[in-house]
Amino acid sequence: MAYDIEKSDAEWRAELTPAEFRVLRGATDEAPFTGEYTDTKEEGVYCCRACGAELFTSEEKFDSRCGWPSFYDPKDLDSVEVKQQRSLFGQEAPVVQCARCGSYLGELFTGEGFNTPTDKRYCINSLSLRLNPADGE
């Protein structure tokens, strides 16, 4: 698929830290309970760390206690794309990517019984995100 932002691996490596590259471009997950946004309650917009696209807001973030930031919906439905399933801890889960640059964000789980408007859990790596605080700092 063609994305609005396309770069070579060398270009991505020059812009991202090794850990960010491993997650965003290598489609691996950071260790649970280690990400900077797992427990944050700060208000704002979560953007793709690779390209800056607005993906999620603090309004959709909820505490799932899964070890990664969780959102029940993206900011705009067309800001992320959901792709093929992969096995995570023996459970099949669709992969979530940034619709603007194709970077890996995490997985999508449904039907887990969380008290959210959508009963969806976008389980997203902190290393895939950058929080732009609501106060503009």
Q: Is the pLDDT of residue 88 over 80?
A: no
1 is a domain residue: no
Question: Tens digits of per-residue pLDDT, 40-62?
Answer: 999 999 999 999 999 999 999 99
4 is a domain residue: no
- Could you give the C-alpha distances from 53 to 15, 47, 72, 119, in angstroms and in order? 16, 5, 18, 24
96 is a domain residue: yes
Query: What's the confidence (pLDDT) of residue 135?
Result: 76
CATH number, domain at 13?
2.170.150.20
Tell me what the pLDDT averaged over the chain comes to: 93
In percent, how much of the chain has pLDDT > 70? Answer: 93
Return the active site residues: 123
The pTM score is 0.91
- pLDDT band, residue 92 (cuts 50/70/90): confident
d(CA 109, CA 59): 19
Considering its fold, how many domains does the chain have in total?
Answer: 1
d(CA 5, CA 99): 10
Q: Is the pLDDT of residue 127 over 60?
A: yes
Using alpha carbons, select from 103, 107, 53, 62 the residue that is nearest to residue 82. 107
14 is a domain residue: yes
Query: What's the confidence (pLDDT) of residue 136?
Result: 58
- pLDDT band, residue 1 (cuts 50/70/90): low
Residues 6+ apart with CB under 8 A from 76: 54
3 is a domain residue: no
Helix (H, G, I), strand (E, B) or coil at 6: coil
Q: Is the pLDDT of residue 90 over 90?
A: no
Residue 97 domain boundaries? 9-133
d(CA 60, CA 56): 7
67 is a domain residue: yes
